[in-house]
Structure 1
């Protein structure tokens, strides 16, 4: 598997945070973000830091259209940083050839963005723990999250994907993994764990019957959003997960 190599210069990149965007000077990128805080954020402090989730939108979907996820994670004690990865001048996502190869540029760029935001905002939000991140992403955002998780970074605690289809989930015993699957499109070979791998690495794959890939956003039906949140809640609270693979 081709892995992402992140340049150490990212650790020292100059950035600025203005309104709903963060500027990465090293790449000249104004990255759209939306930050939402835990319901009981007054309990977050440097001695007892609260958790952080970085939410990556699906391709062509605004990062602001996953409020059902952000609100649920806020209730569970997470600060959520929702991220829009694609800018107007970025090349379009490839739809031809070997997609794992032709889309890797997009995933590399997205993973660099996650890494940049992690290192940049940790000093801004000192009451939050950026060293045990939850990465959550829908579709292409899940591919980006999986790409970074496969890069060997030690600051990722959990990866949750919503029906991503291309990048293999991390097979690492130090990362908790949940993948929620729709019922209309299959994942590529090797993306999801075999039953043996799921057991070895304690990976959770949960298919939601009669659910559609494109409905896993705020635009989707209430029953589906409620079920996604129920699965995530159970997973993060340590409930057992029935593996489908």
Structure 2
């Protein structure tokens, strides 16, 4: 078993991914993370720092199962930190009652985890810019990302959600927002902006026809992953909502 674990670790390292945990002493919490570096990481330096993205998985999906997104962001110059939010000791995600109320503990905890990882890793990676973060998350990971962005942190530059459904997108002119939508589940009322809010805050909403919520991971079809990556690529490059 130890040999198999070593082999798995070596395989991930050879692919440019490094698995690790960071320890939040204040919450006695060992947080799983996976770090992948920009394709041209040798260009990252203290004078010209490279960008950083925090990737949050959907509930019940491993944070290591979004490599299609990590690789795309690496090519765009980002160091990607994929973060595991749910531990075995955590209560299960609520499935009853007013879900916005009953799941808020999960989202608040996840937001605290993102904030901790930011401050924990920043001193270790002086060649990377942790003060203009890109937060990207699928489903519940998108809810967590939106929750943190709504807390008014000044170190968030962009939020990209992939078919999240519960937490309202940030309405903030200082934060760029893209929400990629599937076709099988609607978002709750108030999560997505009105047309007036779209124009006021510059929020982009991209719906992918015939796409399924649960397919928006490494396990999904190639065409869907390509569509998601294309939207992320266009948005990060600043091509505008109409080009997505």
Distance (Å, rounded) in 2 between the aligned partners of 1:171 and 1:102: 23
Distance (Å, rounded) in 2 between the aligned partners of 1:212 and 1:61: 15
8 A Cα contact 2:57 2:137, kept in partner: yes
2:8 matched residue in structure 1: none
8 A Cα contact 1:22 1:33, kept in partner: yes
8 A Cα contact 2:234 2:243, kept in partner: no
Which digits, 9 at most, give the CA deviation of each residue in 1:81-113, with x for residues without a partner? 000100001000000000000000000000000
Counterpart mapping for 1:81-160 below 5 A: 81-160=81-160
1:184 matched residue in structure 2: 184
Number of positions where the alignment pairs a residue of Structure 1 with one of Structure 2: 227
Where do 5+ consecutive residues of structure 2 fail to align? 1-17
Q: Please report how far the alpha carbon of residue 243 of structure 1 lies from its aligned counterpart in structure 2 after TM superposition.
A: 9.9
Which digits, 9 at most, give the CA deviation of each residue in 1:15-67, with x for residues without a partner? xxx95111111100010100000000000011000000000000000000000
**Which structure: greater helix fraction?**
2
SS of structure 1 residue aligned to 2:108:
helix
8 A Cα contact 2:180 2:228, kept in partner: yes
Cα-Cα RMSD: 1.3
Distance (Å, rounded) in 1 between the aligned partners of 2:240 and 2:133: 21
8 A Cα contact 1:204 1:243, kept in partner: no
Q: Please report how far the alpha carbon of residue 242 of structure 1 lies from its aligned counterpart in structure 2 after TM superposition.
A: 3.4
Distance (Å, rounded) in 2 between the aligned partners of 1:167 and 1:218: 24
2:15 matched residue in structure 1: none
Where do 5+ consecutive residues of structure 1 fail to align? 1-17
Q: Please report how far the alpha carbon of residue 164 of structure 1 lies from its aligned counterpart in structure 2 after TM superposition.
A: 0.1
Distance (Å, rounded) in 2 between the aligned partners of 1:39 and 1:176: 24
8 A Cα contact 2:19 2:32, kept in partner: no
- TM-score (norm. length: structure 1): 0.91
- TM-score (norm. length: structure 2): 0.91
